[in-house]
Structures are given as structure tokens and as C-alpha cells.
Amino acid sequence: MKFYNYFHKLNGYLSIALIAVLFCSNSIWATEVSKHIGIFYYKNIFGHIHLNPTKDSVSLTTIACGHPLNVTDTFKSSGVDWFIVNIDKKKGYVLKEFVSNQKPLCFQEKYPKFFNSLNLDLTELYYWGRLYDQYVRGKSRVQ
């Protein structure tokens, strides 16, 4: 009888624990899937979506100015703000300062025929995107 009561109690605890685990896992899953900061647009002439949040990380893809990005989260690495974006069902990183929440007036959209006449090849598109990653930026301020 005593053994039966003990077993019954244990069963009750296990059920509660199981429900708690299910609830937690469900809420974590829900957070990952539903987190969505918004649609942002790339600002520079060309750019890269990186595999990791570093400027020298591998490029997942090259994007052009005005490209819409589905931003799912933010990430801070060594004092630099990154946006986590979904691109071709993959997670990538783009520098926060390179994107805007409003569609920018891009050079290639402002002067499309002139820009097309340059006949940029794939290597040049890649390098143009890398250029913004390689810049060291600064600004003097009023003291």
C-alpha cells in the first residue's frame, strides 16, 4: 500500500515535470520562429551577408543597394552592432549601420542606364561589397 502511494506521488511529480518541460520547449521554439524585427533595406552600392558577425567572415551572398532584408534579431560583437537576417533560409549577419528602415535612393536606381553601361563583372561586385567592410570609419566631434 505504502509502495503504491509512493508510486502514485512519483507519477504525479513526473507528469508535472513533463508538462513543464513541454511548455518550456514550446515557448523557446515559439520565440525562435516568431522573432521578427522587420524589413530593412541595404544602403551601400553593394554589400555582403556574412556567415558570422565579423567583417572578415565568409560572404553568404552579395546584395545590391535597396535589397530588402528580413531582420530577425540583433547581435553585438566587440562593440559593433549586427543584424541577423534570413537569406535563402540561412542565417546571416549584416552590419546595422549599413541598413535602413526606409528604402534608400540608391546610385544604381538613380542612374540605372549609366550604371549598367559600366558592365561590372562578378568580381567587381564582390570587391565593391567588400570595400564597405574594409573601411575604418570615424568622425570628429565638437568638444
Q: How far is the CB of 29 from other proteins (least distance, A)?
A: 16
Give the contacts of 66 (CB within 8 A, at least 6 positions apart).
41, 42, 103, 104, 106, 109
Residues that bind other proteins in the complex, under the rule CB under 8 A: 39, 45, 56, 68, 70, 107, 110-114, 117-120, 124, 127-128, 130-131, 134-143
- Residue (12 or 68) nearer to other proteins, CB: 68
Q: How far is the CB of 91 from other proteins (least distance, A)?
A: 18
- Residue (5 or 117) nearer to other proteins, CB: 117
Which of 45, 46, 98, 44 lies closest to 71 in space, CA to CA? 98
DSSP annotation of 98: G
- Residue (5 or 140) nearer to other proteins, CB: 140
CA 130 to chain centre: 18
